[in-house]
Amino acid sequence: MRKTRATYRFKIDQVSTIKNQLLSFYSADKYLMLLDSNHGGTGHDTYHTLLAVGCIDSLSCSYVDAFCKLEQFHKEYQDWIFGYLGYDLKNDLEHLESANPDGIQFPDLYFYVPELIFELSDDYLYIHSYHASEIDSKKLLDRIQAHRVKQAKTVFEPSRLIAKDTKTSYLEKAQEFLSHIYRGDIYEANFCTEFYAENVSLDTLKAFKELNEISEPPFAVYARLNSYHVMSASPERYLKKIGDQLISQPIKGTAKRSLDIVEDEFLKSELFNDPKERSENVMIVDLVRNDLSRIAAKGSVEVKELYGIYSFKQVHQMISTVTATIKQGLSFIDVLKATFPMGSMTGAPKISAMNIIENNESFKRGLYSGAIGYIKPDGDFDFNVVIRSILYNQDNKYLSFGVGSAITAAAQPEKEYQECLLKAKAMIEVLNHQGISFD
């Protein structure tokens, strides 16, 4: 007989304190995922802070029949599962391939059933567990709160961060994307490049905490899936499902912040009124609307917000919100298959853009520009977009992060390159503190 997970609620005083205690208490666990909203948002409800630890069972696989395997895995357990969808699952959905170099070597899909789920909401901690009683859960919480948070004392060996594409190479490839646009093959594409380091020894929890502190995004993730580590400061939601309702919040449009209040407001206003940024944003909104219409009840797809400007510690972002009602009889897998990969990381038309991306980019995207999140027992889910994220393979000591920008007919390669460096700024800063320098 399948076990039923019980939920126990406890009053707490300091969310940040218990969060750090939890991360420290489970610092040696090979399976841990923190989903942190940082009390922020993008105009719509974000997931509460969730921490899933321990592993009852896991699923990791290549893209071949990956969505079918995920569906069966969820059906088998009918439980919360946490994990990720790699960008290259596109090959399971369309006649596409991924032949570019893969230094990070993450599986294309990875999910696990956690032993314990901690949910932080306002002044309460919820523990979703298989413990026999509330008393058992209270004893566990007492041990966690009595735990002294460990201070990182790791000594790092100096490493060098390398740009996979030189500036010259990036500009040439951006021009190639423009050539495809001028020929009418596509009208927008998300062109990405990789920064990487080899033979890296990294305290990934320390790196995540620093990245999260300087960014405070609404869809932050710290994950350890055995040897695969993720430190994500993502500001973007891919898709959320609540019952038969869907929310997608694509980002297109980025501007730097300024410490000067007047200049910062000017940069924000300039982003909102920029014709190129608006064009990029509305193209992706149309693509998301088209994807959602494949699985939505007739007439239910709506643009709730267009060109919304949201400010984060590092950048201003232009974010739009699209909602839909799912057709009767469709499962969460049907929804994911109809909408993945997210349009903000591909371009339009979607399949043509993905083919051109594959032929011009210098690395296999893997988890970068995929999605991380959870699926509940009833099939409800919430996933971010894996951007502004550092990936680390503990086995081969390879570290990687990708950055990209949208290429449209109005794009200027030099400006797109500078946008990539702006998006990389926080990650480079964190890695510099970890002994990984970039020249």
Instruction: Just list the catalytic residues.
Output: 236, 252
* 74 three-class SS: helix
CA dist 117 to 182, 246, 302, Å? 50, 24, 33
Q: CA-CA distance, 390 to 231, in Å (whole number)?
A: 5
- For residue 426, what are its two tokens? 């926080």
Q: CA-CA distance, 235 to 257, in Å (whole number)?
A: 15
Contacts of 406 (CB under 8 A, 6+ apart): 188, 189, 190, 191, 252, 280, 284, 347, 416
CA dist 269 to 40, 192, 341, 406, 421, Å? 21, 26, 30, 20, 22
Q: What is the DSSP letter of 326?
A: B
CA dist 312 to 10, 205, 234, 255, 268, Å? 31, 22, 11, 10, 11
Contacts of 142 (CB under 8 A, 6+ apart): none
Residue 218: is the preceding peptide bond cis (ω within 30°)? Answer: no
Q: CA-CA distance, 239 to 339, in Å (whole number)?
A: 9
Q: CA-CA distance, 160 to 409, in Å (whole number)?
A: 35
Contacts of 422 (CB under 8 A, 6+ apart): 254, 256, 314, 315
Host H or E run for residue 25? helix 15-25
* 89 three-class SS: helix
Check residue 334 and give left, alpha or beta (phi > 0: left; psi -120 to 50: alpha).
Answer: alpha
What is the number of residues in the chain? 439
Strands 57-61 and 159-163: unpaired
Backbone angles phi, psi at 247, to 5 degrees: -130, 125
